[in-house]
Amino acid sequence: VIRPEPLGPVRQTHAIKVQYAPIVRTIPEEGYLEVKKGEYVDIGCEATGTPTPIVNWKKNGESMALLEHRSRIRFRAEHRLLAGVYECTATNGVGDPMTAAITVIIQDAPVVTTSRSFVHTAIGLRAVLASKLEFAAPPARTAWYRDGKPVRTDDRIIIMVKDNVHQLIFRSVRKSDFGNYTFRAENSLGMADVSFKLTGVPNTASFKVDPSLNKADATSYTLLWEVDSYSNIIEYNLWLRPYYGRPATTESDFITTETPNVWSKIVVPGDSNEGPIHSAAYSVRGLTPSTVYEAVVTSRNRFGWSKPSAVLHFATEPGAGKILLSTSDYTDFTPILEDPEPQQLYNITQAQVFERFNELSNSSRREKISLTSRSMAFLI
Whether 211 and 191 share a structural domain:
no
> What pLDDT, on a 0 to 100 scale, did the predictor assign at position 125?
94
Whether 300 and 186 share a structural domain:
no
Whether 194 and 210 share a structural domain:
no
Segment 348-361 shows an average pLDDT of 48
CA separation, residue 344 to residues 114, 196, 352, 361 (Å)? 17, 12, 11, 16
pTM of the model as a whole: 0.68
Domain count within the chain: 3
> What pLDDT, on a 0 to 100 scale, did the predictor assign at position 52?
93
- Which of these, 312, 117, 126, lies nearest to 203 by C-alpha position? 117
> What pLDDT, on a 0 to 100 scale, did the predictor assign at position 320?
55
- Give yes or no for residue 68 having a pLDDT over 90: no
Residue ending a domain, choose from 199, 219, 245: 199
Residue ending a domain, choose from 89, 107, 125: 107
> What pLDDT, on a 0 to 100 scale, did the predictor assign at position 337?
57
Residue 168 lies in a domain: yes
Whether 181 and 298 share a structural domain:
no
d(CA 122, CA 345): 20
Mean pLDDT score across all residues of the chain: 82
Segment 264-269 shows an average pLDDT of 94
> What pLDDT, on a 0 to 100 scale, did the predictor assign at position 260?
53
Percent above pLDDT 90 for the chain: 64
Handedness of CA 128, 129, 132, 138 (dihedral sign): negative
Residue 380 lies in a domain: no
Whether 314 and 232 share a structural domain:
yes
Residue 66 lies in a domain: yes
- pLDDT, tens digit (0-9, with 9 covering 90-100), for 276-330: 999 999 999 999 998 899 999 999 999 999 999 999 999 999 875 443 333 344 4
Whether 234 and 344 share a structural domain:
yes
Residue 34 lies in a domain: yes
- Which of these, 186, 164, 205, 207, lies nearest to 307 by C-alpha position? 205
Whether 361 and 269 share a structural domain:
yes
The one-character DSSP state at 312 is E
Whether 99 and 129 share a structural domain:
no
Residues 151/168, Cβ–Cβ less than 8 Å: yes
> What pLDDT, on a 0 to 100 scale, did the predictor assign at position 333?
52
Residue 374 lies in a domain: no
pLDDT band at 3 (very low <50, low <70, confident <90, very high): low
Residue ending a domain, choose from 144, 179, 199: 199
Residues 271/278, Cβ–Cβ less than 8 Å: yes
**Looking at residue 25, which CATH number applies to its domain?**
2.60.40.10
> What pLDDT, on a 0 to 100 scale, did the predictor assign at position 245?
58
Whether 240 and 312 share a structural domain:
yes
pLDDT band at 214 (very low <50, low <70, confident <90, very high): confident
What is the DSSP track for 73-90?
EEEE--SGGG-EEEEEEE
pLDDT band at 15 (very low <50, low <70, confident <90, very high): confident
Segment 35-61 shows an average pLDDT of 94
What is the domain range of residue 282?
206-369
Residue scoring higher pLDDT (333 or 168)? 168
> What pLDDT, on a 0 to 100 scale, did the predictor assign at position 1?
54
Whether 43 and 118 share a structural domain:
no
> What pLDDT, on a 0 to 100 scale, did the predictor assign at position 345?
36
> What pLDDT, on a 0 to 100 scale, did the predictor assign at position 339?
54
Residue 13 lies in a domain: no
Whether 216 and 304 share a structural domain:
yes
CA separation, residue 193 to residues 17, 32, 79, 140, 190 (Å)? 63, 29, 19, 12, 11
Whether 216 and 322 share a structural domain:
yes
